[in-house]
Amino acid sequence: MIEFKISAPGRIVLSGKHAAMYGKPVVMASIDRYTTVKFSELNDGPREIKIEFPDVALSLNVSLEQVLNFFSCNNSFDMTLDHCRLLRLVQSWITLNGMWSTQEQRFSLQTFFFLLFIIAYDKKFVIKSFHVHVSTQLPIGAGLGSSSSFAVCLAACFIHWARLQNGANYAFNEQELTSISNYAMYCERISQNYMFGADNYVCSYGKTIKSRYEQDSYYNDIINMPTMKILLIDTNIRQNKDERATQIAELKHSRPDFVDLNLRTYNISSTNICKKLVAMNNINQEDNIPIHEIQMSVYQQLQTLIYVDQLIVQNLGLSHPSIDMIGSISRDLGCWENPTDFGGLVYILLPPIIPEEIFGNLERHLREMGFNIMVASVCCSGVRIDD
């Protein structure tokens, strides 16, 4: 009986979050909060597919015959070329069969079945009875790439199942990582009308990148940075991505020169942040200068750039009083806060050496103000087979 577990990290936007739609670079890194799928074939009992997505309160048993009938009836067209038609068919099928009751469940199921069908069609593997359990450490809708991590995890699951059916069992190679990223990107592109595939790339490879989107394509530059600690603060605000995009578009229409100036500043800031991350990765001992002093010097330069990033957010009217409040507290530590994305989380890049008393005071103040916080690492491993 085939059994395995696969995990994929989330992703965090370090700089340029509002500039992607205008072709400006965005700096993204993987974060060590994982989505995990546990998969096992079912050789005994009813012929069915058991689906458990506890984070969206979904537990469902679907007849295997029902799934195979859908797959065979719609196997007459090229699923790998007509993604939009496949998604529409999946959406109608799960709705007509009453498989979901909330939008979160609907989105999760359409992602699950879209990836199952397209990868089964492409890889020619046999769909058998199985049990799949997907859980995540990522808060949903909070700007840490939970949907991208979910899609990457499922794409990796079905690709690995196809490999095991053919007797292959090894870590994902470069070609397979590219396939995983692309399948997840296709799914998100048509289901969310979200063209920026860099999210899926980061969740697949676990790399830090400077990415830009131009004319239906995105281009990634790999940034070699060390693993660094951040403090994540949940503001309990959930911003609507489409509303924010509309807000920037309207501002660009009414004040084009002002917006263009801020976008150019974003471009410069993101580029310089990448340079400082590389510098942090390449630090070596210098004559008569302790290495921690060199690290702190580069760190302070990074903080200045992060401050510029947050100023742009404020200039564009995209900040929030809670975010500004967190900033006033974090400055006591000599840090600057920065929103991670549209989801309402703020990150603080922690210095290489933090006095325990200062960090404890920062943590206490944030908790007293009602914020949930956690320490995480950026620049971690990508999608992986755990066992």
- Residue percentage of the chain with pLDDT more than 90: 35
Do 121 and 233 lie in one domain? The reply is no
Domain stop point among 200, 223, 246? 223
Do 51 and 67 lie in one domain? The reply is yes
134 lies in some domain: yes
What pLDDT, on a 0 to 100 scale, did the predictor assign at position 238? 67
Quote the CA–CA distance of 327 and 323 in Å, as a whole number: 6
Do 155 and 279 lie in one domain? The reply is no
Quote the CA–CA distance of 277 and 305 in Å, as a whole number: 11
What pLDDT, on a 0 to 100 scale, did the predictor assign at position 306? 81
Quote the CA–CA distance of 262 and 284 in Å, as a whole number: 35
Residues near 332 by beta carbon (within 8 Å), at least 6 away in sequence: 358, 361, 362
Domain CATH number, residue 299: 3.30.70.890
Do 284 and 333 lie in one domain? The reply is yes
pLDDT digits (tens, 9 = 90+) for 296-318: 888 888 888 887 887 787 777 77
Domain stop point among 172, 194, 223? 223
Average pLDDT, the chain: 84
Q: Do the beta carbons of residue 58 and residue 109 sit within 8 Å?
A: yes
The residues that bridge with 385 in the sheet, in sequence order, are 6
pLDDT digits (tens, 9 = 90+) for 325-367: 777 677 666 665 565 555 577 888 888 777 777 778 778 888 8
**Would the pLDDT of 193 be above 70?**
no
**Higher per-residue confidence, 162 vs 250:** 162
Quote the CA–CA distance of 225 and 78 in Å, as a whole number: 41
| Position 177 confidence tier, pLDDT thresholds 50, 70, 90 | very high
386 lies in some domain: no
Label residue 126 left, alpha or beta by phi (over 0 means left) and psi (-120 to 50 means alpha): beta
3-class secondary-structure state, position 228: strand
Do 48 and 66 lie in one domain? The reply is yes
341 lies in some domain: yes
Do 312 and 199 lie in one domain? The reply is no
Q: Counting every residue, how long is the chain?
A: 387
Do 196 and 310 lie in one domain? The reply is no
Range of the domain at 367: 228-376
381 lies in some domain: no
Q: For residue 18, what is the DSSP state?
A: T
Q: In the predicted model, what is the mean pLDDT of residues 27-32?
A: 92
Number of structural domains (the chain) is 2
Do 268 and 187 lie in one domain? The reply is no
128 lies in some domain: yes
Do 190 and 249 lie in one domain? The reply is no
- Residue percentage of the chain with pLDDT more than 70: 87
pTM: predicted TM-score of the whole model, two decimal places:
0.88
Do 240 and 297 lie in one domain? The reply is yes
Say which range, 85-94, 267-276, 293-302, has the weakest mean pLDDT.
293-302
Q: In the predicted model, what is the mean pLDDT of residues 10-25?
A: 80
Residues near 97 by beta carbon (within 8 Å), at least 6 away in sequence: 62, 66
384 lies in some domain: no
Domain CATH number, residue 193: 3.30.230.10
Do 197 and 59 lie in one domain? The reply is yes
Phi, psi of 36 (to 5 degrees): -125, 130
Domain stop point among 164, 195, 223? 223
Do 219 and 260 lie in one domain? The reply is no
387 lies in some domain: no
126 lies in some domain: yes
